[in-house]
Amino acid sequence: MENVIDVLEERGFIDNKTHEQELRDCIDAGPVTCYVGFDPTADSLHIGHLVPIMSLAHMQRCGHRPIALVGGGTGLVGDPSGKTEMRQILTPETVEKNVIALKGQLSHFIDFRDDQALLLNNADWLTRLEYIPFLRDVGRHFSVNRMLKAESYRMRLESDEGLNFIEFNYMLLQAYDFLALYDRTGCQLQMGGSDQWGNIVAGIELVRKMRQAPAFGITFRLITTASGAKMGKTAAGAVWLDANRTSPYDYYQYWINTDDQDTARFLALYTFLPMEEIRVVKELEGADLNAAKAVLAFEATAMVHGPDEALKAYQAAASVFGARDIPQNLLPHSAIPRGGADAGADDVPHSEVPAAELTDGIPLFKMLHQVGLTASGGASRRLITQGGAYVNGERVPSIDYLLTQADLRDGTILLRCGKKKFHRLIATPE
């Protein structure tokens, strides 16, 4: 079987790793248990978490056992990494609620049946630690001088707010997680974002010092778009994996709007399609490249929301933008329908409006805000003035525009803001 390190490197995951040859030999010798930690700071994961999630899925597909470690304990402390301000301290009740939600989302990517993978919560051991024994047994292995040089701490020390003592303990707690997982499951590999390098190395050294056992680390690249924007961030905020926060249609639209330069790279990172098929995408242009984006959007949506929701989103997009013809020889391992898509207008975000209100006319700027296409009436007016508002595909000429029954097309009105945001109004009988 192919070494999973080669798989992850070819697909563009890896930023750095420790003890490379020893790690490769360990993986070649037999199944390895590995883990990634997820702090429950919200009741949903988002697109920014997909790289570590996909890495665990690749580990499992290559015959290894992944652990998704939910930080019910560390979530009560807060990770200072990458932050210039202290994270909000969550209540135990909020953390527990978030933990339950994250477990369900991770199950879409990783098979936890029959202990093929483990879903653990570090609250099970961190909340039971006794402070003095912890300092004596674990704390003595950490150099304060060295900790202060870590990037995660240095940023906070240089900020106006500074670093508080509870956050200073975070590195020790994450390192202890690795030790606890080694003792409980034989885990030898920790993975995480590049901002976690210092914490991961601390855990490796703790296992090696206290257990004289091999332990390894891999960090992943920070994924940005071709424009330099952080992956998963939009003007409206994060793109969530929870359908109640980001609908399957909006999730699909995020991926369909991928920059041309990112399409092949994102197919490698965020799908399981074979690399020999993905490499071809780098040479595509025009309609074929747009078809590849549709495949990316379909596969990414199917993974999070299931194939039925992915199909609905694909059909809904076809009803708005027109059906795409997906060539049979393009990324053939994808389950996306070939030869176009049947319209699915009902899956475009929509709401009802009494036909009687259209008789009198409804100010467009008010409706844009009411259905959530803009943040306020003022934002609606600015959008219209700038030429970014459309009714049934036609640019709106004036901020005084009234929606009336004359705008109905088969009982509906299609509103659009910019190139990507749509909403369908359905007129109800008087």
- Among candidate residues 49, 293, 369, 423, the one labeled active-site is 49
- CA 45/CA 54 separation, integer angstroms: 13
| DSSP code for 19 | S
Tokens 């701490």 locate to: 153
Q: Is 209 a catalytic residue?
A: no
* Nearest-10 crossing angle of helices 307-321, 248-256: 60
Query: Among the options 19, 24, 41, 405, which is catalytic?
Result: 41
Catalytic pick from 141, 233, 350, 382? 233
CA distance 54 to 43: 19
Q: Which residue of the set 94, 225, 234, 404 is catalytic? A: 234
What are the C-alpha distances in Å from 283 to residues 7, 263, 266, 324, 419?
Answer: 22, 11, 15, 19, 26
How far apart CA 78 and CA 75 sit, in angstroms, is 5
- Token pair 């704390």 is at which residue? 139
Would you call 230 a catalytic residue per the annotation? yes
Catalytic residue among 43, 183, 195, 325: 195
Whole-Å CA distances, 304 to 52, 81, 120: 15, 27, 21
User: Would you call 260 a catalytic residue per the annotation?
Assistant: no
Q: Confirm whether 409 is a catalytic residue.
A: no
Contact of 64 with 31, CB cutoff 8 Å: yes
Residue 404 CB-half CA count within 13 A: 7
Catalytic annotation present for 149: no
Closest listed residue to residue 429, CA positions, set 347, 352, 349: 352
> Is there a catalytic annotation at residue 282?
no
CA angle 306, 424, 300 (to 5 degrees): 20
- Among 24, 58, 61, 83, the active-site one is 83
> Annotated catalytic residue: which of 11, 17, 46, 156?
46
Question: Active-site residue 79, yes or no?
Answer: no
Of 24, 87, 154, 382, the catalytic one is 87
Catalytic residue at 58?
no
Selected catalytic residue, list 33, 74, 174, 188: 174
User: Annotated catalytic sites, by residue?
Assistant: 41, 46, 49, 83, 87, 174, 195, 230, 233-234
